[in-house]
Amino acid sequence: MKTSFMGKILMVFALSFCFNANAQFFKKLAKKAERAAERTVERRVERESEKKTDQALDSVLGDGSGSKKAPRTPQENQGNLPSSTSGNQSSTGTSTEPSKGGPKTIEVYSKFDFVPGDRQLFFDNFQNDFVGDFPSKWNTDGSGEVVEISSESEKWFEIKPNSFYIPDVPSLPTDYTIEFDILANGLDNKTSSTAKLRFILDDSDKFGYGANAVYAYLPFCQYTPVGIGIWNNISGKNVIRNTVTADIRKDVLQKVHVSVAVNDKRFRLWVNENKYIDVPRLVPSGKIVSLKFEPVGFKDGKERLFISNLKVAEGGVDLRRKLISEGKISTNGILFESGSANIQPQSMGIIRQISQVLQQEKGMKLKIVGHTDSDGSDENNLNLSEKRAEAVKNVLATVYGISSNRLMSEGKGESEPVEDNATIEGKAQNRRVEFIKQ
């Protein structure tokens, strides 16, 4: 069939329109691909730049791969984990003598000003998990297991490099605190400057980083002080990226207690008794819901990292005003060694605030009341609670100079629980100290 002249013209117009439409479509597609490629290149350049910087540091400062010789780490501080056992593997670490520095004393912590939240949201010491298993209240895109360490009384969770670990913490409020213990093994003069533990606050519980996120990292490098890093993302844009000067090389060779306080946008961080970070506008306001951990840069199988006693609590506000206005406060932030009345040094922030109230309110008297969980007999728990209350009283008198005539102590054992003693979280809430104005 022959096509008319007019039909041919219409066909040409139709083909021309299709070609133009397709050209516009492919032009838009090319622009999108170009923008995506630019973003990918930017991210890759940023990662490679960071990687090259760390490699240069390793080479120049002496991680064992360059020509510079690393300074020798004191032998007494190397390797604090004699051995560890798990369901399916044994320790690969080197056994050496523990640090001769001795435990921290409460006097050392007397100016420690961290105050933990007073409403517990999450606690895990892996007490109910079997050795060799992945802990029941965590998630990961890698692997890990609960282990026992011969030099430590509690269980620990071994986390592996280049993986994310997400505890089942409820959605985070505006004001909250985070505490955990970290233990490392296998560190030496060849441990890379890239060996870090990032703890991340994020706007989702997915693996990776969201459009709104914050992280700080602890360095484990031994041949040079790397510093403590902070970083944030607000609506997809990096606003703060910095490394704060800090030398925690000796700290990370022993068990380290990390404390974090978030009050809306403000972010503070302590390592043992020292505060290293206090940034007023680091956290994306109202966006953060989850907590994550990400170890990076460790040599898997040689340099091992363990975490325990993770506690997240709402609050962390000034207890001084509450005690003055309400005449009573209750806290589970004063911690004791298991089964004893020995106060753990990181509890001094709360006791310090109580002392400040008593120093200001010269006529105030306080009753200090100790409470325990239900583990053990009623009689033992009653005695333990009395000793713990008396221990807090003694610290107020001896460390902060409060007259003992203004202080009374009492123990109530397990008789007045505030939560269910059948759960780890409930027991942690029931182990508390009350301060009551008289």
Same domain, 305 and 418: no
CA distance to 109, 151, 326, per residue, from 344 (Å): 10, 17, 27
Same domain, 37 and 131: no
Q: Considering the entire predicted model, what is its pTM?
A: 0.68
Same domain, 82 and 228: yes
Return the CATH number at 188: 2.60.120.560
Q: Which of 290, 314, 338 is the last residue of a domain?
A: 314
Sheet holding 165-167, edge to edge: 138-140, 165-167, 290-296, 196-202, 213-219, 228-234, 237-244
Mean pLDDT value of segment 411-417: 95
pLDDT given for residue 109 in this prediction: 73
pLDDT band at 275 (very low <50, low <70, confident <90, very high): very high
CA distance 160 to 306: 9
Expressed in angstroms, the distance from the first to the final Cα of the chain is 109
**Residue span of the structural domain in which 107 resides:** 75-314
Q: Which of 264, 296, 314 is the last residue of a domain?
A: 314
Q: Classify residue 104: in a domain, yes or no.
A: yes
173 or 113: whose pLDDT is higher?
173
pLDDT given for residue 347 in this prediction: 84
pLDDT given for residue 76 in this prediction: 32
Strands 407-411 and 366-371: parallel
Same domain, 339 and 268: no
Candidate from 7-21, 42-56, 194-208, 325-339 with smallest mean pLDDT: 42-56
The total domain count for the chain is: 3
318 or 70: whose pLDDT is higher?
318
157: left (phi over 0), alpha (psi -120 to 50) or beta: beta
Same domain, 89 and 229: yes
Q: Which of 39, 61, 83 is the last residue of a domain?
A: 61
Q: Classify residue 13: in a domain, yes or no.
A: no
Q: Classify residue 238: in a domain, yes or no.
A: yes
Same domain, 83 and 37: no
Q: Classify residue 234: in a domain, yes or no.
A: yes
Rounded mean pLDDT of the chain?
Answer: 82
pLDDT given for residue 249 in this prediction: 96
Same domain, 209 and 273: yes
Same domain, 363 and 250: no
Same domain, 86 and 48: no
CA distance 175 to 283: 11
CA distance 130 to 88: 12
Q: Classify residue 66: in a domain, yes or no.
A: no
Same domain, 133 and 106: yes
Q: Count CB neighbours of 386 within 10 A.
A: 18
Q: Classify residue 309: in a domain, yes or no.
A: yes
Same domain, 360 and 212: no
Return the CATH number at 416: 3.30.1330.60
Candidate from 6-10, 170-174, 266-270, 283-287 with smallest mean pLDDT: 6-10
Same domain, 335 and 380: yes
Q: Classify residue 16: in a domain, yes or no.
A: no
83 or 71: whose pLDDT is higher?
83
